[in-house]
Amino acid sequence: MSKRVLTARTLTTESGAPVADNQNSTSAGVGGPLLLQDQHLLEKLARFNRERIPERVVHARGSGAYGHFEVTDDVTGFTHADFLSEIGKRTEVFARFSTVADSLGGADAVRDPRGFALKFYTEEGNYDLVGNNTPVFFIKDPIKFPDFIHSQKRDPFTGRQEPDNVWDFWAHAPEATHQVTWLMGDRGIPASYRHMNGYGSHTYQWTNAQGEAFFVKYHFKTNQGIRSLSSEQAAELAGKDANSHQTDLLQAIERGVHPSWTLYVQLMPAAEAADYRFNPFDLTKIWPHKDYPLQRVGRLVLDRNPDNVFAEVEQAAFSPNNFVPGIGPSPDKMLQGRLFAYADAHRYRLGVNHTQLAVNAPKAVEGGALNYGRDGLMAVNGQGRGAKNYEPNSYDGPAETGRPLSAPLAVSGHTGTHEAPLHTKDDDFFQAGELYRLMSEDEKSRLVANIAGGLSQVSRDDVIEKNLAHFHAADPEYGKRVEEAVRALRED
């Protein structure tokens, strides 16, 4: 008797059985009610109900691509990270870009920071660098983060983003003035993901082979040039194509126009941090380039689109705590909070075994990570028959190296809820004023108009006054112009 073999063109159920009819459900006679025995129908409907996973609370709407990072300059004096160990060395990378505040169904062309997340599949494990397209952020302590995001997302009563909530939070967070100036300025709406810079934003630590520690900030400068949209251009584009940034990135790569960025770093010897004029671990501050010049490291190129957006973009999991030898954390409070929060978000959304998904799996070791974690939802990596699930053991299981990834951080003092230590220039407004004074007259006019457009919609006068005080403190002209613009809009 001949054996019937399924071919690549045979439609099957989840269990692999061939499907006889995918157009008509099984019924009790012609026109009769449907039968519970129709396994194929029930399976299709049940799977359809479960196709979506919880979207990210922030950075929900995103796009991604694969590529590589190539070292162009020697940085071995600052870090012993293997993927940065020699000029010409290439490392596979997956990148994800995103808006921050809106949901998965939002538009790309909106005034919002952009996530800039990179996963380096290094020979020493995955290194995740999770930053934004801005070098600073709105807050400096992670305990404020849930409240900040609540103020920026949809109001639980009205179901929409409320200017009252947005500006009320900023009124009570003077440290946000610097980032607000960035967001409301000309770079607040990138024309595409290809035409924006990326920053690690946080301060990280590099350690060289001799154990010397350096604090580092990452700057990915777009080689396509900076291009941004005005508020009017963005509104028009969002109405025509809500997926404008996704469309641009996908089509550019498909036609062979591969976007690239040049990586530069700022490096501060660890001993200089305590006496620097700004707190070097404050996410609302930059390090001026005249103090710590940019040093070139390499080139990031994206040249391959994902085959499946859900599997590879939505399920991509980036965690700032994924370090490799030679790179580690700093005392940056926001970074410290994210070391927990990001990995925890992925365990909730994707399950404890999310690192076994192809886009997240390390490529350093054949078969995935080597450790003693077992089981859990969707576990697929059994670590081999008979492998022990405890350590230490007498069966040649994976063992510790005894070599720390980075230099230890010095700590002192008493436990407690402390404000960050003040450095000589550590106020909330100086750098915001410096940024304003760097702008051309046209840039200042657009900045003032963008701020006034939102602030004038706030219903409470005291909230408006608190925000105006921040702009006055940053620069008297800045504050005066915003105040006059807000007054004019409210009088109309």
Catalytic positions are 59, 132
How many CB atoms lie under 10 A from the CB of residue 275?
8
Q: What are phi and psi of 385, to 5 degrees?
A: -65, 130
Query: What are residue 277's DSSP bridge partners?
Result: none
Tokens of 30: 């012609």
| Alpha carbon of residue 200 to chain centroid | 9
Please, what is the angle between helix 476-491 and helix 461-474, to 10°?
150
Closest by CA position to 145, among listed 344, 351, 352, 424: 344
Backbone dihedral region for residue 162 (phi beyond 0: left; psi -120 to 50: alpha; all else: beta) = beta
Q: How far apart are CA 128 and CA 93, in angstroms?
A: 10
| Radius of gyration in angstroms for the set of CA atoms belonging to the chain, rounded to a whole number | 26
Alpha helix (H) residue ranges in 332-440 = 333-350, 430-438
The CA distances from residue 247 to 31, 287, 336, 454, in Å, are: 44, 35, 35, 29
Compute the half-sphere exposure of residue 299: CA atoms within 13 Å on the CB side of its CA.
Answer: 11
Name the DSSP letter for residue 310: I
The residue whose two tokens read 């520690």 is 213
Q: How far apart are CA 273 and CA 215, in angstroms?
A: 8
The residue whose two tokens read 């498909």 is 254
Q: How far apart are CA 187 and CA 239, in angstroms?
A: 20
Q: Are 318 and 344 in contact (CB under 8 A)?
A: no
Where does residue 377 rank: exposed (0-12), middle (13-18), buried (19+ CB within 10 A)? exposed
The residue whose two tokens read 């154990």 is 211
Q: How far apart are CA 328 and CA 177, in angstroms?
A: 29
Q: Are 181 and 432 in contact (CB under 8 A)?
A: yes
